[in-house]
Structure 1
Amino acid sequence: MAQIYKIYINEVALIITDSQPSDIQDYQELKISEFNFFRFYEQVRELNSPKIFLLLSKNFKSHFKKIKRSMKMIKAAGGLVSNEEKHYLFIFRNGKWDLPKGKLDSGETAKVAAVREVEEECGIRIESLGDKICNTYHIYEMNKERILKKTSWYRMSAVNQKVLIPQLEEGITDVRWLAPGDFMMIRQNTYPSIRDLLNAEF
Structure 2
Amino acid sequence: MHYIFVNDKPIILTTLVEKETDFKNFLLKDVDIEQALKVLKKKRIKSIRFIHHNEDTILKKFLKKLPNVIAGGGKVYNKNNEILFIYRNNKWDLPKGKAEKKETIEDTAIREVEEETGVSGLKIDKPLETTYHIFKRNDKLKIKITYWFKMTTNFDGELFPQEEEGITKVQWLNREESTQALTNSYANIRRLV
TM over 0.5: yes
Please give the per-residue CA displacement for 1:106-160, whole angstroms capped at 9, x wherever unaligned. Answer: 1111100000000111001033111110110011111111111100000001103
Q: Is the 8 A contact 2:83 2:178 kept in 1?
A: no
Q: Does the Cα contact within 8 Å between 1:11 and 1:51 map onto a contact in 2?
A: no
The equivalent residue for 1:106 is 101
1:23 maps to none
Shift of 1:176: 0.4
Count of paired positions: 189
Q: Could you tell me which residue of structure 2 aligns to residue 8 of structure 1?
A: 5
- Structure 2 gaps, min length 5: none
State the distance in 2 between where 1:105 and 1:163 align.
Answer: 27
Query: Given the alignment of the two structures, is residue 183 of structure 1 paired with residue 174 of structure 2, yes or no?
Result: no
* Alignment partner, residue 43 of structure 1: 39
TM-score by length of 2: 0.87
Code of the aligned partner of 1:118 = V
1:129 maps to 2:124: yes
Residue 164 (structure 1) aligned with residue 159 (structure 2): yes
Q: CA deviation at 1:48?
A: 7.2
- The alpha-carbon deviation at position 16 of structure 1 amounts to 1.2
The TM-score normalised by the length of structure 1 is 0.83
**Post-superposition offset of 1:65:** 2.3
SS, match of residue 176 in structure 2: helix
1:154 pairs, out of 149, 153, 159, with 149
1:25-104 equivalence runs, <5 A:
28=23, 30=25, 32=27, 36-38=31-33, 39-44=35-40, 46-47=41-42, 51-104=46-99
Seen in structure 2, the aligned counterparts of structure 1 residues 104 and 174 have a Cα distance that, compared at 3 Å, is same
Given that 1:32 and 1:57 are in contact with CA atoms closer than 8 Å, whether structure 2 keeps it comes out as yes
Structure 1 residues without counterparts, runs of 5 or longer: 21-25
1:37–1:67 Cα contact (<8 Å) kept: no
In percent, how many aligned pairs have the same letter?
32
- Aligned partners of 1:147 and 1:176: how far apart in 2? 29
- Cα separation, 2, equivalents of 1:169 and 1:33: 38
